[in-house]
Amino acid sequence: MKAVQITSYGAADVLRVNDVERPAPGAGEVLVAVEASSVNGHDVIVRAGELKMVSGRTFPIGVGLDFAGTVAATGAGVEGWQVGERVWGMVHPRRRHITAGAAEFVVVSADRIAHAPEGVSSAEAASLVVAGATALTALRDSVSLADGERVLVRGAAGGVGTAAVQLAHALGGHVTALARDRHAEFLTGLGADAVLDYGSTTSDRIGPFDVIVDTVGRELHCYRSRLAKGGRMVTVGLSGPALAAIAASSVHGSRRIRTFSANPDTALLRDLAGHVTSGALRPVVDRVYPLADITAAHQAFERGGVVGKQVLAVSA
């Protein structure tokens, strides 16, 4: 089968589409014939070597956190899944994988998949796995957004950002999106009540907000200061400076900066599918690339300035 792997850490040009042996599911596992995957920040930082404590220094290393496709086989002890059922899911982000979601087949624990939502293509479904699970966890579980609260989504045009705008609106928030000015009309269509141009808007001139969802990972202390009394802030844009800001904010109690690692299980993926089926959350795909163009997809992600997700079309 074809699978994206890296044999050394570095820029996007270290990515290779290799011929590898098709994996077999073990006890409690499911083999999925992958139809689509997407590019996520986690994929990029693994490739760059920023998570060596997890991915190690033994190569090759598989690439691709999420996937959508069909069940191809089940391992011993797996119940409730039939070959041919449409599923979506995610490999474990804190484990090393020889092959992962960006491959024609992927083996994953049965508790990390769910039925893919009806009414969307596999490419569209793949665009929502990590982005949607991250946004839902941030808003519902990390900061417990309440109806009527004022929400700022920073980096609102990206994959997580577009999902957060939609879900914050669905949960009853008054949503302010911070993004490039040219994306204002589109973000308003997703549910934003106001859109601010990040190029001309400084943090000291906005707010206060009850909730801030950050996907950027820079200048966190400046935005944290725009929280209202009792406000909450969560960031998914992790970097060295971001981690330092998170640690330093611990003295602020409930107004500290929170973070988490998206790691959805079947229950969360079912909840997410419900939001898609209801129309509260729709996919935002910037471009679909063939698997052979994985380098270009990663480069587009790193350049930024686009709306939504880069998706990989995979034919098993």
Strand ranges in 198-293 using DSSP code E only, listed in sequence order? 209-214, 227-235, 257-258, 285-290
Q: What is d(CA 147, CA 172) in angstroms, rounded to the nearest whole number? A: 4
Mean of the pLDDT values across residues 237-264? 74
Confidence of residue 56 (pLDDT cuts 50, 70, 90): confident
2-127+265-313 has which fold?
A: Quinone Oxidoreductase; Chain A, domain 1 (3.90.180)
Q: What is d(CA 131, CA 163) in angstroms, rounded to the nearest whole number? A: 6
Confidence of residue 243 (pLDDT cuts 50, 70, 90): low
pTM to 2 decimal places: 0.94
What's the CATH code, domain 129-258?
Answer: 3.40.50.720
Q: Are strands 227-235 and 209-214 parallel, antiparallel or unpaired?
A: parallel
* Nearest Cα residue to 281 out of 293, 289, 273: 273
**Residue 224 near residue 242 (C-beta atoms within 8 A):** no
Residue 269, φ and ψ in degrees, nearest 5: -65, -35
**Residue 14 near residue 92 (C-beta atoms within 8 A):** no
* pLDDT value for 138: 97
Confidence of residue 242 (pLDDT cuts 50, 70, 90): low
Domain boundaries, the chain: 2-127+265-313, 129-258
